[in-house]
Structure 1
Amino acid sequence: MMDEIQNRQHVVKQNRPERTIEGDAFSAFAITALRLAGHLTAAGDRLAKPAGQTSARWQVLAAARRGGMSVAQIARALGLARQGVQRLADVLESEGLIAYADNPQHQRAKLVRLTEEGAARLGVIEVAQAGWADGLGAAFTSAELDAARSVMARVMEMLEGNEAAGG
């Protein structure tokens, strides 16, 4: 049994493609970013829970506050699927946290607007988030965080360019 496992592991290692040092570094970066995304979502869920929300609902509420955006525009801004944002928006609308308004640019694509109740819930979340962000942010310099954000933004631009090109 042990020989069989070692043989399988050997085959897996043999078939693993070689990467450059930069490729290995990028792979480690990507894994770390994915793990960070999970932690941020969990933290967002904890911050939003006292307002009866989740991270995903919070994102849609925050986008609705900007006003003048359709569900499809919100989805693009958040990098999410339109259908998922539509489901969340419909639930938020049924709970009275957002309202749909006529869109002068598009007859069928309604604009999403935050209601007073939605704004109140969003305010509760944002008060909690401010203290949380200040506490974590204190562990870094603003230059460190700006550099990290810049690298992440460049990677997103590259990936978005690849998606647009069909890659």
Structure 2
Amino acid sequence: MPHGDAITELILESFRLNGCLLAAGDALLQDLGLTSARWQVLGAVALSPAPAPVAHLARTMGLSRQNVQRIANELDASGLVTFAANPHHQRAKLVLMSERGRAVYAKAAARQSPWAAALARELPDDAIEEATGVLRALRRRLESGQATLRKENPA
């Protein structure tokens, strides 16, 4: 299989996997009032070393600021996060985890761990690590602009 075809197949499989992961996450957390998207943003808030504005969370997650803002607003309306004044930027509020948000996030994490273990069962650790490395390398190439399309000059 030519190199370009192989990477295209990996990309297509990644898209299919992403859809399956989103559906599985939605099913796993539905009774907690979370979707996969809400869980992802809540996780970014939980794992941030310091309170951060939406734009910073979006960059960390590789998502658009507008999409993360919409989800953060939903989380705020659900009482899972709150917004606080940002001493460094008047308009860019900081996103903080609420007490209820911490409790819901802890319940989600408690479910995710055994689910992930079951998903990984019978897959060799070194294969998982190698796949992670390939996906990380592709992401970094895309983020750095190394994989830009070069248009050929028409003949």
TM tier, shorter chain?
0.7 to 0.9
Q: Secondary structure of the residue that 1:132 maps to in structure 2?
A: helix
1:132 to 81, 103, 115: 115
Distance 1:160 1:126, change over 3 A: same
Structure 2, unaligned runs of 5 or more: 151-155
**TM-score, length of structure 2 as denominator length:** 0.88
CA distance in 1, matches of 2:2, 2:51: 45
Q: Which amino acid aligns with 1:22?
A: H
AA matched with 1:154: A
Deviation sequence 1:79-117 (CA, Å, 0-9, x none): 111111111111111221101122222221111111010
Of Structure 1 and Structure 2, the greater helix share is in 1
Q: Is residue 72 of structure 2 the alignment partner of residue 89 of structure 1?
A: yes
Q: 1:49 aligns with which of 26, 30, 34?
A: 30
Give the number of the structure whose alpha-carbon radius of gyration is greater. Answer: 1
Which sections of structure 1, spanning at least 5 residues, go unmatched? 1-19
Counterparts of 1:103 and 1:165, CA distance in 2: 36
Q: TM-score, normalised by structure 1?
A: 0.82
Letter in 2 for 1:129: Q
**2:98 — aligned with what?**
115
Task: Summarize the Cα distance change of 1:159–1:120 in structure 2 as closer, same or farther, 3 Å threshold.
Answer: same
Q: d(CA) in 1 for partners of 2:72 and 2:137?
A: 30
- Contact between 2:84 and 2:93, CA under 8 Å: does it hold in 1? yes
- Aligned 8 A contact 1:100 1:111 in 2: yes
SS of 1:99's partner is strand
